[in-house]
Amino acid sequence: MTVNTQPATERPDPRAFGLPVVEQDDIPAELRALVGRVHDLIGAVANTTETDPRTLAEAAAAVEGVTERLGRAPRRQIGTMVRRDLPGGASEFGTISNIVAGDTNPAAPPLSLVPTAEGVRGEVTLDTVYQGPPGLVHGGWIAALLDQAVGTASSLATSPGLTARLEIDYRSPTPLFNPLEITAEVERTERRKVYVNGRIRVNGEITAQARALMVRVPFPE
């Protein structure tokens, strides 16, 4: 039975939880470029066949130098959020260094999800940084992508919550270097509980699907 006892129309402002908020448009283009180059670096390091000790040592020293230089500025407060405008006039908050979708996380693919009539949709192509079995996406990353999708669908349709339960059916291998279409939508809500379904498609075929229970976080008084 579908029970909608607590439809959420309020959008909590993360500042009410003591979390700083950055406007997505205020993230400097140069920081975005740096995030992109470090993302490329992760792939280059993971896949290099370079064996010359001097070349490798120089690369390590160069990276260490950049890390030290950036470390001179204070770190962002843990839990810093970013506000993003969405197509259609809505906006959403996300953690700025979210491992799946964070604007400033070089390890994130990143996955960008937009609202649809049903829920949310995004497309992403993963490289060997996300490899599990040869040529295939790691199962944990498949779960991570789907967790993000069901969480975002739930958050946009109701209000932000935490994943209480996530069940994944891995139906067929999910390949690297192929566009993954990720969709999710709310099935029903019961008080603070939001039941959400999601899936990954490759060339129109479902490779993995998720059933999730999100529990909405109570707003501060």
Ligand X SMILES: CCCCCCCCCCCCCCCC(=O)SCCNC(=O)CCNC(=O)[C@H](O)C(C)(C)COP(=O)(O)OP(=O)(O)OC[C@H]1O[C@@H](n2cnc3c(N)ncnc32)[C@H](O)[C@@H]1OP(=O)(O)O
For binding to ligand X (CB under 6 A), which residues are involved?
12, 14, 17, 81, 93-94, 147-148, 151-152, 155, 160, 162-165, 191-193, 213, 215, 217
- Residue 93 or residue 141: which is nearer to ligand X going by CB? 93
Q: Across-strand partners of 182? A: 122, 200
Structural tokens at position 186:
């709310």
- Residue 152 or residue 174: which is nearer to ligand X going by CB? 152
- Residue 126 or residue 149: which is nearer to ligand X going by CB? 149
Query: What is the phi/psi pair of residue 71, to 5°?
Result: -70, -10
Rounded to an integer, what distance in angstroms lies between the CA atom of residue 59 and that of residue 45? Answer: 10
* SS3 state at 16: helix
We find the least distance from the C-beta atom of residue 127 to ligand X, in angstroms, to be 22
We find the least distance from the C-beta atom of residue 218 to ligand X, in angstroms, to be 7
Q: Residue with CB nearest ligand X?
A: 151
Rounded to an integer, what distance in angstroms lies between the CA atom of residue 110 and that of residue 123? Answer: 10
* SS3 state at 66: helix
- Residue 82 or residue 126: which is nearer to ligand X going by CB? 82
We find the least distance from the C-beta atom of residue 220 to ligand X, in angstroms, to be 9
Rounded to an integer, what distance in angstroms lies between the CA atom of residue 30 and that of residue 59? Answer: 22
- Residue 90 or residue 164: which is nearer to ligand X going by CB? 164
We find the least distance from the C-beta atom of residue 61 to ligand X, in angstroms, to be 36
List Cβ neighbours of 48 (8 Å cut-off, separation of 6 or more).
none
Rounded to an integer, what distance in angstroms lies between the CA atom of residue 59 and that of residue 65? Answer: 10
Contacts 24+ apart (CB under 8 A), 6-11: 6/189, 6/191, 6/192, 6/216, 7/158, 7/189, 8/158, 8/159, 8/216, 10/159, 10/219, 11/159
We find the least distance from the C-beta atom of residue 164 to ligand X, in angstroms, to be 4
We find the least distance from the C-beta atom of residue 47 to ligand X, in angstroms, to be 28
